[in-house]
Amino acid sequence: MRHRYLFAGFYVLAVMALIWPVYAWFGGIRPFILGLPLSFAWIVGWLIAMFFAMIGLYLGDNRRERG
């Protein structure tokens, strides 16, 4: 059950990082990361992080069902 709370907390953190107050800080900056503008790389990075968080949640649920 603890992994679900951790995932929920990480999900809230990711949503907050992708909406106005936090995302606006990165909107006007022009450096490029792997050819992407920083504002787009910020979104892609959080989507990749959420992908791995969901894999962790899935594996945690499977481990609990087996044990």
Parse the chain into domains and list their residue ranges.
2-66
Residue 65 reports pLDDT greater than 70: no
* pTM attached to this predicted model: 0.75
Q: Which of 3, 22, 17, 7 is nearest to 64 (CA)?
A: 3
pLDDT bucket at 3, cuts 50 / 70 / 90: confident
**Can you tell me the mean pLDDT for 4-28?**
80
Q: What is the dihedral of CA 43, 49, 52, 54, to 10 degrees?
A: -70
DSSP 31: -
Task: List, for residues 20-45, the tens digit of each pLDDT value.
Answer: 777 777 666 678 888 888 878 888 99
The pLDDT of residue 50: 94
